[in-house]
A and B are shown apart, each in its own frame.
Chain A
Amino acid sequence: MRTKKLGRSNLWQYYAMLIPGVVVTFFFCYIPLYGVIIAFEDYNVGMGFSSPWVGLQNFRYVFNQPTFTRTIWNTLYMSVWKLALGIVVPVTVAILLNELRSDKLKRFYQTLIYIPNFLSWIIMAGVLMDILSSGGAINLILHALRLPTVDFLGNAKIFPWTMIISDVWKGFGYGTIVYLAALTGIDPTLYESAMLDGASRWQQIKNVTIPLLMPTIVLMTVLSLGSILNAGFDQVYNLYSPAVWESGDIIDTYVYRLGIQQAQYSVGAAVGLFKSVVSAFMVIVSYRLADKLAGYRIL
C-alpha cells in the first residue's frame, strides 16, 4: 500500500513544516549567494548589493597581486600534505590497533586519540603556542638533548610543517575510528584461513586487511578532495604572524585580512567566489568519483 505513505489528509502540513527551514536557508544561504555579485562591483556601504558594476576588474586586480598567487600555492601545499598524511596516519594506526589482542586496551587507546578532535583550534593553538615557544616544553627537551632549538611558529621554512603535523595530530583520531569501524566488519574466518595457510602477521595485514580497507580509503580520499582549498583557517589564523606570511598565508586568511579587516569587500568577495567555484567543482567531481569507485551516495 505504497500510496498511503503520506497519510490521508492534511498534505499541506508537510509543506508548513518546511517553511522555517526554507526561510532560514533562503536568508542566510541564498541572499549571500546573490551577494557575490559585489565581486563584480565596486561595493560601497550606502548602495549595498547594487553598487556600480565594474566587471572583472576585482579579479584582474587580485590575480595580479603576487601576494595572492602566493596564497594559492601555500594553500595547496598545506592542504595536499594534510590530506595525504590525514589518510596514511589513521590507516596505519587503525591497522596497528586492529592487531592488538586486548579489546580493552584497544578501546582505551581509541579514547585517548579521539580527544583532540573535539577541542577548538583556539584551545589547540593555545596549547601549541605554549609547548612550541622558545621557552616551551619541546624546546626545553631539545635543549636538554643538546639539539638545536627550533622556531616552530616563527620560521617561514618550518611553519607549514608545524601546521601540517599539528593538524594531522589533532584529526587522526577521527580517521582511525572510521577505518577501525571498517576493519571490525571484516569476516574473521578470512584471517583464520590465512593463518592455516601459514601466513605471518605481516602477510595477513598485506593480503587481507589492506585490500579490504581499500574501498574505505578510496571513499575517504575522494570525499576530502572537496576541501582542497581549505588549508585550515582556524588553525593558521591563530598561529601565524607576519614573519611567516610568505609560506603560511592561505586563501582564507588573505580573504579575511583583505575583506573584513581592510574592508575591501569587493576584492574579498571576488577571492571568495573564486574559491567557492573551485571547491564546488571539486565537490561534484569527488561525489561522482565516490559513487563510481565506492558506491557511496549521500542522498
Chain B
Amino acid sequence: MKKKTTAFDVILIILLGVICITCVLPFIHLLAVSFSSSSAVAAGKVGFLPVEFTPASYEYVISGGRFLHAMGISLERVILGTLLNIVLMVLTAYPLAKEDLPGRGILSGFFVLTMLIGGGMIPTYLLVSGLGLKDTIWALILPGALPVYNMIILMNFIRGLPHEVEEAAWIDGASPFQTLVHVIFPLLGPSLATVGLFSMVGHWNDWFSGMIYMSQPINYPLQTYLQTLLVDFEKLLQSDSTGNIKDILSKMNARTGRAAQLFLGALPIMMVYPFLQRYFTKGLTLGSVKG
C-alpha cells in the first residue's frame, strides 16, 4: 500500500537527520581542527572545514615517532590477541557444543561462572604482576584470552549446524580433531567473523590494561598513549620544542596535535566499520540461537 508523502514524513526525515548528524559532526569538527593552524583554532574560527590549512600536526605525529611506536604495539596486540582468542574460542566451543559429552554440564558451568563472578581489578592486577607479565605484551593478551560470552555465541552457532556433515566425516574415519579442523572450522565463517571482529575492536580500544600493566610509557599501546595525551600533551609539546621540528610546532598547538592523533587512532575502526556494522548486526541474532 503506497501512500503519498505527508508533512509527517518530511518532519521525520529532518528530525532523524538532525539526530544522526550529531553522531558524526564532532568527528568532522575534530578532523577540521587537526588540519587547521594553531592561530585559527585558538581564535575559535574552525567549524567543519579546516581554516588556514596545514598538515603540521600530522607531520609532528610522524616525526615524533611515539605515536607510530604505540600503534605498532597495538597492531601486534590486535593480531596476536585476536588469533589467540579465535583459537581458544573454537577449541572450547566445539567440545561444549556436544550435548552428550560426559561432564559437559560441569565444564560449561566452569566457564559460565566466570561471567557471574570475578576477582575484580585488584586481585587480577596482583596476579599478573606476580607472574612477571608486567611490561610484556602478554599482560595485555593472556587475562582475556578466552572471551566466554563470545565463545558461547560460537557454541550456539556450532550446535545449529546440521549433524550430517560431521557424521559423514566420522564414517570416513575422521577423529574429533580432524573433524573440527577440516569440517567444522570451514563452516564457521560468519559467526567467526562476528566474534573475531568483537575481539579485534576490543583489543584495539582497550587502554586500561596498558595503563596498569605497563610501567614504562615506551610499552604503551596506542589507546593508552592517547590517554596520556588527554592529560598532559601540553607538557610533552613544550619538552619537544627543540631542533628540526621547531618549524612544525609554530603552526600547531596541543589542540590540533591532539585532534590529529585522536583522529588517526579512530581511523582503523572507521576503516573496518562497514564490516563491523554488517557482522555486529548479525551477531545480535546469532547469540539468540537457542539450544
Complex Cα spacing A99 to B180, Å: 45
B108 within 8 A of A: yes
**Which residues on the B side are within 8 Å of A29 (C-beta)?**
114, 118-119
Complex Cα spacing A268 to B87, Å: 34
**Identity of the chain A residue whose Cβ is nearest the Cβ of B262 in the assembled complex:** A126
Known: A8-B170, A123-B266. A32 touches B124 (CB 8 A): yes
Interface residues of A (CB under 8 A from B): 1-11, 13-18, 20-22, 24-25, 27-36, 38, 43, 48, 93, 96-97, 99-101, 105, 109-116, 118-123, 125-131, 135, 137, 140, 169, 173, 177-178, 181, 192, 195, 201, 233-234, 238, 252, 255-256, 259-260, 265, 268-269, 272-273, 275-277, 280, 283-284, 296-299
**Which residues on the A side are within 8 Å of B110 (C-beta)?**
22, 25
Residue of A13, A27, A122, A140 with most chain B CB atoms under a 10 A cut-off: A122
**Which residues on the B side are within 8 Å of A137 (C-beta)?**
26, 29, 47
Please report the total number of B residues contacting A with Cβ < 8 Å.
Answer: 104
Known: A24-B146, A276-B120. A14 touches B114 (CB 8 A): no
B15 within 8 A of A: yes
**Which residues on the A side are within 8 Å of B59 (C-beta)?**
none
Complex Cα spacing A114 to B284, Å: 14
Contact between B111 and A31, CB atoms less than 8 A apart:
no
**Identity of the chain B residue whose Cβ is nearest the Cβ of A267 in the assembled complex:** B122
Complex Cα spacing A169 to B21, Å: 12
Cβ 8 A contact of A7, one of B87, B107, B142, B179: B179
Complex Cα spacing A93 to B18, Å: 12
Main secondary structure, interface of B, reads: helix
**Which residues on the B side are within 8 Å of A30 (C-beta)?**
114
> 18 A-B contacts, Cβ less than 8 Å apart?
A4-B167, A7-B179, A33-B123, A114-B280, A120-B205, A122-B205, A122-B230, A122-B265, A123-B226, A123-B265, A137-B29, A173-B23, A201-B8, A259-B121, A272-B119, A272-B123, A275-B120, A276-B117
Contact between B288 and A296, CB atoms less than 8 A apart:
yes
Given contacts A14-B176, A113-B20, A123-B265, 17 further A-B contacts (CB under 8 A): A5-B100, A6-B101, A6-B176, A11-B176, A16-B177, A17-B91, A21-B91, A25-B111, A31-B119, A38-B123, A109-B16, A115-B24, A127-B26, A178-B284, A265-B126, A272-B121, A275-B120
Known: A4-B170, A275-B120. A122 touches B19 (CB 8 A): no
CB interface residues, B 84-110, toward A, < 8 Å: 87-88, 91-92, 94-96, 98-101, 107-108, 110
Contact between A21 and B111, CB atoms less than 8 A apart:
yes
B235 within 8 A of A: no
Contact between B29 and A109, CB atoms less than 8 A apart:
no
Complex Cα spacing A14 to B176, Å: 7
| A97 CB to nearest B CB, Å | 6
Cβ 8 A contact of B230, one of A36, A129, A131: A129
